[in-house]
Amino acid sequence: MKRNKKFIYLAQLSLLTGIPLFGFIGQSKAQEIITIQQAIEKTLNNNLQVKQAQLSEKLGDLNLKQSQLALYPTLGGNIGQNMGWGRNQVASGLYQNTQNYNLNGGISSGIDLFGGFSKLNQIKQNKAVLEADKTNVDKIKNDLILSVITSYLQILYNKDFLKAAQDQLDVAKQQLNQQQQLLDVGNKTLADISQAKSQVATAELNVTTAQNNLTISFLTLAQLMDIQSSTNYDVQAPLIDSFKNPSTQYDAEQVYNNALNIFPDIKLAKFNTEAARIGVKVAKGSLYPRLSFNASYGTSYFYSYSSLLPNESFEKQLKNNISKGIGLSLSIPIFNGLQARNGVKRAEINLAQTQTQEQLAKNNLNKVIYQSVADLKAAESRYTSTKNAFDAQKDAFYVIDQRYQVGLVNSLDYSTALTNKNKAEIDMIQAKYDLLFRAKVIDYYLGKQIVF
């Protein structure tokens, strides 16, 4: 949230960054105009964090399907052959050199009849984990949307700031030209010219700072959208009505209650808690006996090269040597180094951690929303005050300017009035975008589409 609170103050960035201009300023016919919705779409489609989260979701889906398939019986086949030779005792009691060939094969199947409900609980846990993975995708998208809104408004603010700085430079240059003309006819002194030149230098510095800040803000949004940093684009400014009457009539508790049901951070914390809760049941399953059923079916073929009796045919042996079997096995855990019980304890601790994290997420959301509602109301008051202050300073400067033109006001008073007007305009621009941003933050927590 620190980044969100500071976005309107980026005009204070130092020129020592040394970041060059890349031609973002000045619109051309080839320039793409990007709306806030398009900026959000590009970011969500291109961002690698989103893609990583989506891949994790796919893995979660595979884990769920695998745990569901674990309920089905296992089925396997086997086939083996071997040859042997050497001295062996034969039926007569004598030893003689023999050569034998043996072939056997079969299939077997097994299924767990009872295992402490571990497999069923594992399916439930994997479902909760999958929902958490899906929600994590939404959370990442949600966080990116707020970052895009912040960067987008930062560009709009910096564009207005640059325009104001350029207007100030134009006025300063006009003033210098006028001072030079008056000096030429003997109505001004060199001190007046120096003061005017100082105003021009200050205005030029402000324009340079504003240009660099605007370039940086374009780069920031381009990086979020994962497009080439050299891309020549512009953003669409919102309608002026967006600044006039943004809704500020919000009840913080109502906003919080609504956000609890839709905000991805809370939903993610809930799914993590649910998965941990089921994880305790999965761990307890290892404390119960395990009952399994198995069945087998097989046959074999034997051939002795040194047998005194004829070997039966391959087909006949396969038919006569068929073996079948079924069985039940019961495994009772007695002592395994307390692994099972410690596993349960670890699962219970993990549950306590996720419950704490969920409550922390709720507490943080409550604090942020109450603060956001208060900030919105304060921003409305600040915008009204700064707008009134700017109107007053603009009127005051008009009077000073008119008197200055006829020599009734000295250059120092004129410079002071111009500075006050410029500062009031910058304050109003900051307040304007701060108000818009605060209103969009409330929409963000309510899950509304962000539109200008």
Max avg pLDDT among 188-192, 328-332, 363-367? 363-367
| pLDDT, position 232 | 87
Give the tens place of pLDDT for each residue, 125-135: 999 999 999 99
Give the tens place of pLDDT for each residue, 96-120: 677 888 999 999 999 998 888 899 9
| pLDDT, position 151 | 92
| The two three-digit tokens of residue 363, written as one number | 């507490």
| The two three-digit tokens of residue 124, written as one number | 């439930």
Cα 282 from Cα 123, distance rounded (Å): 10
pTM of the model: 0.74
Q: Strand 233-235 and strand 32-34: pairing?
A: parallel
Cα 278 from Cα 347, distance rounded (Å): 9
Please state the separation of Cα 268 from the chain's center in Å: 12
pLDDT exceeds 90 at position 385: yes
| H or E element in which residue 345 lies | helix 339-405
pLDDT band at 204 (very low <50, low <70, confident <90, very high): very high
pLDDT exceeds 50 at position 72: yes
| H or E element in which residue 67 lies | helix 48-69
Judged by DSSP in three states, 113 sits in strand
Cα 112 from Cα 438, distance rounded (Å): 58
Length of the chain equals 452
Ordered by where they begin, the domains of the chain are 2-72+117-287+339-445 (1.20.1600.10), 74-114+289-332 (2.20.200)
CA angle 326, 330, 334 (to 5 degrees): 160
Give the tens place of pLDDT for each residue, 5-57: 333 333 333 332 333 333 333 344 457 899 888 999 999 999 899 999 999 99
Q: Where are the alpha helices (DSSP H) in 226-310?
A: 241-244, 252-262, 264-284
| pLDDT, position 10 | 36
Task: Tell me the C-alpha to C-alpha distance, in Å, between residue 444 and each of 64, 232, 248, 249.
Answer: 32, 29, 14, 16
| pLDDT, position 293 | 94
pLDDT exceeds 70 at position 219: yes
Q: Which stretches does DSSP call E strand in 162-289?
A: 233-235
| pLDDT, position 308 | 65
